[in-house]
Amino acid sequence: MSAQPDRGIDPRGPRFAAGITAVLLLAEVFLALIGARTAATILLAGLAALFAWGAFAGVRRHPFGVVFRRLVRPRLSPPAELEDAAPPTFAQGVGLLVTGVGLVLALVGVPLALELAGAAAFVAAFLNSAFGYCLGCQLYLLLVRAGLIRRAPVAVGP
Amino acid sequence: MADMPAWLAVTLIAALVAVATATGVLWRVRAGRVRIADPESVVTAALLGADAQLGERATLLQFSTEFCARCPGTHRVLAAAARDEDGVEHVDVDLTHRPDLARRFKVLQTPTVLLLDAGGAVRGRVGGAPRPAELRAALTAILNGADDVRTA
């Protein structure tokens, strides 16, 4: 009932990965703006594939997560507390949705799709990396409120 | 769209980063603060469900979902605060099972914490992970019967 994780991940891992993703998304927006549309499309497709990897295989198996565990975490002090892997995994799905829709729209010729999808995904990844803001958590709650995600009522306890 | 010169693209990118940074700073400044809530709104144990038990003197009512990065940490902070005070209970509700409560209390982010007094009246409200010192001060204010639970 209460969301106590039985096993956790270092919360700095997803934020490290989001930082790399944010930089790559900025590069994608820049390429699209200066007219290097093929390069921007390939980069956005690559990022969408990475989001899919994180969403379906889990953030623990995401390449940037592996980089964090192998190269970064050994140099850091242990985390103050561990976090559940489910929220960042859900956030990867949100990233996949945004970049995937942008990619499809760009491929059918919708103007500004590369720029706007990249910018939207950048804002989410940047806020997550720099401030610890979890857009996926917010969207999940809005889906619950809208009645799109529902489970049987259970008794609440401490 | 026509290709733009690199300097203009760099300017737009910088503006994007600036807007995102301002958004993040604004969110950080506001998140986790104890705000005054509408004391007319009253929570009863019956509303929360059969097993829920409100504290005799105060209750920390936490709204969570499974997909919530800060909820487990908030759970630990609130459970510890409740343990340290007699007559204070901590209740953690997963809104996935109770979307009616999310709508009723207009919960827009998780965790959201309602601070209830002995009668179940909502005296304070925290959106986001509460700042532990501020939360404990507000709880103390409720236990002492103060009118205003804000300390800052």
Q: Residue A152: its pLDDT value, please?
A: 64
Nearest to B64 among A3, A133, A155 (CB): A3
Q: Residue B9: its pLDDT value, please?
A: 94
Q: Do B16 and A84 touch (CB under 8 A)?
A: no
d(CA B16, CA B21): 9
Q: Residue B54: its pLDDT value, please?
A: 93
Token pair belonging to A46: 């690559």
A125, A21 in Cβ contact below 8 A?
yes
Q: Do A156 and B93 touch (CB under 8 A)?
A: yes
- Per the DSSP assignment, residues forming a β-bridge with B60 are B90, B115
Of A71-75, B11-15, B123-127, where does mean pLDDT reach its minimum?
A71-75
Chain A: residue whose CA lies nearest to B71: A3
Question: Does CATH number 3.20.20.70 belong to domain B32-143?
Answer: no
- ipTM score here? 0.85
Q: Residue B151: its pLDDT value, please?
A: 59
User: Residue A1 — pLDDT band, cuts 50, 70, 90?
Assistant: very low
Please provide residue B94's backbone torsions phi and psi, each rounded to the nearest 5 degrees. Answer: -85, 110
Token pair belonging to A44: 């956005």
Q: Where are the domains of chain B?
A: 1-30, 32-143
Q: pLDDT tens, A30-82? A: 999 999 999 999 999 999 999 999 999 988 889 998 899 899 999 998 888 78
Residue in the structure block whose two tokens are 């699209």: A32
Neighbours of A99 (CB within 10 A): 27
